[in-house]
Amino acid sequence: PHHDTQLHFLVIPLMSPGHYIPTIDIAKLLAQHNVRVTIVTTPVNALRFGSILHQPIKSGLPIHFLELPFQTEKFGLPEGCESLDDAPNLGMAKEFFIAQSSLQQQVEQYIETLNPKPNCIISASFLLWPAETAKMFQIPRVIFDGMNCFTQMCNHVLHLTKVHETVSESESFVLPGLPDRIELTRSQLPFAFNSGSKDVKDFHEKLLVAESEAYGVIINSFHELENQYADEFQKIKEDKAWCVGPLSLCYKDVSEKVQRGNKSSISEIECIKWLDSQETGSVIYACLGSISRVDPDQLVELALALESSRKPFIWVVRAGPNNTPKIEKWIEEEGFEERTKERGLLIRGWAPQLVVLSHVAIGGFLTHCGWNSTLEGVCAGVPMVTWPQFQEQFFNEKLVVQVLRIGVSVGAQNVVHWGEEEKSGVQVKSEELRKAIEIVMEEGKEGEERRKRAKELSVMAHKGIEEGGSSYRNMTRLIDDIRNQVRLGN
């Protein structure tokens, strides 16, 4: 009978860790619900993200990879640059996404060979071509952007009211019509709201159209985290929005957690041994995600702040291909590692973030507010020091600091515009970083309450993904919705 037929989803991730990693998680969840999943990937990504899912035989799940060649040279990218974090600078994002667009034809050829066609395409709104592909084959397309409902609502009210266009760069203004009084400066808004370029504007207009034509949106969040915003967003999307997160919780034990994402630069045994030797809740973990190219000078401020805070710390050192040597040189010349070796652990390259965050020794997380990292912090139940860099990270900061009240801002104002030459405005001083770290780690009443709230959210997060929890039910609802589409012959 019809309802027993296995559904087939085609998943097209953005080739950037912050998107690729949670997309793989979605695939895993779908497969656990007996949906067959095909993930579009490229040779370097398939190798790099040594996830358990890249060995489907081991996982036993109905997941397959469609590995397609990725042309780098043709688009002016360095050889092997198949993931955005490998690009020499973020100004290359444009070339990178153009290169990824060249996968369109091959994906369409693949779909041609299938009978029946896939029942659903999951892809980022930022990639326009899967929208065309979906249209061409009349397959419902579901967007996954890796954002939360709060951010979606911020974007929504800005597009709707264009209130940002009435203010200057550094002027702060209130986002209209949201449940909380959210105030930002124009320069803190994502690139799309700030660019004067016609090309960029046109591109974003197209994105909005494609977004409105999509069947629905998957959200890596859980309803209880942002009730009001989830309700509002749900309304806008006429119920075709599914909060199915936190996705990182589909990894249970350490052996699974280390396999999520890149191969880490430190052995998890060494890392856990170091953490085991620290007191409960005493360590601050500082990591600024996978693609932000933080100025080496700013990393020096961070290093000095970690040192002067006198707390044990883990610092994930990375400034991007061009700049990492500069910060390395500073560490070397200053003897920083030696000087702080009693209480500091430096991880160069990729940290096993889920393993670190879920260790009881961690007491605070200094984050750039990438949504994956932020939500992983929520899952771990630790308060955060927020140091957003660009794009919707400033929205995420507001959610953490103001709405959830589990974070302390370092007060960053500057913006490094995505896709433009790296330019930075107001810089953060080590003093400001140190203060925020101290406030988050303090033992006083406020600190205790912040920690308590963080713990409560973590409990809710875990409940959400369990059978019967809100996210679990939403995942089932998504699959049922697609199954109904199939039945209706759409």
The residue (of 17 and 130) whose beta carbon lies closer to ligand UDP is 17
Does 15 sit near ligand UDP (CB under 6 A)? Answer: no
Structure tokens at 490: 């759409």
Distance CA 110, CA 156 (A): 35
Does 151 sit near ligand UDP (CB under 6 A)? Answer: no
Closest distance of CB 413 from ligand UDP, Å: 19
Minimal CB distance residue for ligand UDP: 18
Does 380 sit near ligand UDP (CB under 6 A)? Answer: no
Piece of the chain touching ligand UDP by CB under 6 A; list 57-65, 157-165, 174-182, 367-375: 367-375
Does 351 sit near ligand UDP (CB under 6 A)? Answer: yes
Does 17 sit near ligand UDP (CB under 6 A)? Answer: yes
Distance CA 420, CA 227 (A): 35
Does 21 sit near ligand UDP (CB under 6 A)? Answer: yes
Closest distance of CB 294 from ligand UDP, Å: 11
Distance CA 317, CA 180 (A): 35
Does 18 sit near ligand UDP (CB under 6 A)? Answer: yes
- Residue 48 CB contacts under 8 Å (≥ 6 apart), including other chains: 83, 262, 263
Binding residue (CB under 6 A) for ligand UDP from 188, 259, 373, 430: 373
Binding residue (CB under 6 A) for ligand UDP from 87, 241, 287, 380: 287
Does 296 sit near ligand UDP (CB under 6 A)? Answer: no
Closest distance of CB 285 from ligand UDP, Å: 10
Distance CA 397, CA 388 (A): 7
The residue (of 316 and 345) whose beta carbon lies closer to ligand UDP is 316
In the chain, helix, strand, coil percent, each to 5? 50, 15, 35
Give backbone dihedrals phi and psi of 94, rounded to 5 degrees, phi first. -60, -55
Does 290 sit near ligand UDP (CB under 6 A)? Answer: yes
The residue (of 44 and 236) whose beta carbon lies closer to ligand UDP is 44
Task: Annotate 170-226 with DSSP letters as a single string.
Answer: T-EEEPTT-SS--EEEGGGS-GGGT---HHHHHHHHHHHHHHHHSSEEEESS-GGGG
Piece of the chain touching ligand UDP by CB under 6 A; list 220-228, 250-258, 284-292, 411-419: 284-292
Does 299 sit near ligand UDP (CB under 6 A)? Answer: no
Does 245 sit near ligand UDP (CB under 6 A)? Answer: no
Across the strands, what pairs with 141? 121
Query: Are 284 and 363 contacting, i.e. CB atoms less than 8 angstroms apart?
Result: yes
The residue (of 287 and 475) whose beta carbon lies closer to ligand UDP is 287
Structure tokens at 440: 């988050």
Total residues contacting ligand UDP by CB under 6 A comes to 18
Residue labelled with tokens 């320069």: 187
Evaluate the omega torsion of the peptide bond into residue 88 and state whether it is cis, within 30 degrees of 0: no
The counts of H helices and E strands in the chain are 20, 15
Summarize as ranges the residues that interact with ligand UDP (CB under 6 A).
17-18, 21, 261, 287, 289-292, 316, 350-351, 353, 370-373, 376
